[in-house]
């Protein structure tokens, strides 16, 4: 008897029943499972149900959404779960605060179901590609002094390691494949984010900032160089040291 494949599960943290029902219907058609959870139980449920992603709806209380996001990303057990926030249009303060808290993606309300679905599908497809690459190329992928474990989104430097969010991991891999090359923000958006998703250039800046800080904590060195008015590059000499 063939084992039944488990559906990828998306936890939706919202008090808007209509939004939940709409998202549950759309995601079910693409093979996702969904569950409605509260802010006080999202971490527990994410672990118990092995969530693929978490959606935080900030319509009722943006401060609570920010606090919940911070708690998710501060926890060793849930920090790697892709977390998405639905943010009110024009609420710049929470948009940037959520990015600094480690949210993996913001979507401006009213949410485009097609863009949200494209992002979630990219997460699932990315996991599938990671498993395929792991099988084809071994458990680790080496880039100079870095070793990257694609399936766990882990970067190893010497005896130390750090786990990155999905966007940071893709950004690092993109730049490491061509060390020394300056990537514009638009090039990084094209390489890392789904093509149907609108991403602002400043979003790239925040994610690169997260990545830069993670690499500095890991190695004590600065690898990512900012090229004014152009973009970002991994220092070739630093990576080959």
Of 85, 112, 24, 10, nearest to 52 by C-alpha is 10
More confident residue, 171 or 99: 171
**In CATH, what number does 139-239 get?**
1.10.10.10
Domain residue spans of the chain: 9-121, 139-239
CATH architecture label of 9-121: 3-Layer(aba) Sandwich (3.40)
pLDDT band for position 92 (50/70/90)?
low
Task: Examine the pLDDT at 9 and tell me if it is beyond 60.
Answer: yes
Task: Examine the pLDDT at 158 and tell me if it is beyond 60.
Answer: yes
pLDDT value at residue 136:
42
Cβ-proximal residues to 224 (8 Å cutoff; 6+ apart), any chain: 175, 208, 211, 212, 215, 232, 233, 234, 235
Distance of CA 61 to the CA centre of its chain: 23
pTM for the full model?
0.61
More confident residue, 3 or 227: 227
- Going 89 to 81 to 45 to 132, the CA torsion angle's sign is positive
* Residue 202, beta-bridge partner list: none
Cβ-proximal residues to 160 (8 Å cutoff; 6+ apart), any chain: 218, 219
Task: Examine the pLDDT at 192 and tell me if it is beyond 80.
Answer: yes
More confident residue, 35 or 61: 35
pLDDT band for position 140 (50/70/90)?
low
pLDDT value at residue 56:
93
pLDDT band for position 128 (50/70/90)?
very low
Integer angstrom CA distances of residue 37 from 55, 79, 104, 112 = 10, 18, 19, 22
User: For the residues 77-92, what does the mean pLDDT come to?
Assistant: 83
């Amino acid at each position: 008897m063939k084992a039944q494949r488990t559906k990828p599960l998306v936890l939706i943290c919202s008090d808007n029943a209509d939004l939940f029902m709409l998202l549950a219907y759309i995601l079910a058609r693409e093979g996702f499972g969904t569950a409605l959870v509260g802010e006080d139980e999202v971490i527990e449920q994410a672990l118990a149900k092995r969530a693929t992603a978490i959606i935080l709806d900030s319509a009722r209380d943006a401060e609570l959404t920010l606090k919940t996001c911070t708690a998710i990303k501060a926890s060793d057990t849930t920090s790697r779960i892709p977390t998405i926030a639905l943010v009110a249009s024009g609420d710049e303060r929470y948009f940037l605060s959520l990015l600094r808290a480690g949210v993996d993606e913001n979507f401006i309300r009213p949410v485009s179901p097609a863009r949200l679905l494209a992002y979630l599908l990219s997460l699932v497809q990315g996991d599938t590609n990671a498993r395929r690459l792991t099988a084809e190329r071994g458990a680790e992928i080496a880039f100079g002094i870095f070793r990257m474990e694609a399936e766990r989104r882990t970067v190893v430097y010497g005896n130390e390691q750090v786990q990155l969010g999905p966007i940071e991991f893709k950004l690092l891999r993109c730049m490491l494949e061509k060390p020394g090359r300056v990537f514009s923000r638009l090039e990084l958006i094209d390489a890392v984010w789904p093509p149907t998703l609108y991403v602002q250039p400043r979003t790239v800046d925040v994610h690169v900032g997260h990545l830069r800080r993670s690499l500095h904590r890991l190695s004590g060195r600065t690898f990512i160089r900012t090229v004014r008015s152009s973009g970002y590059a991994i220092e070739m000499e630093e990576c080959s040291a």
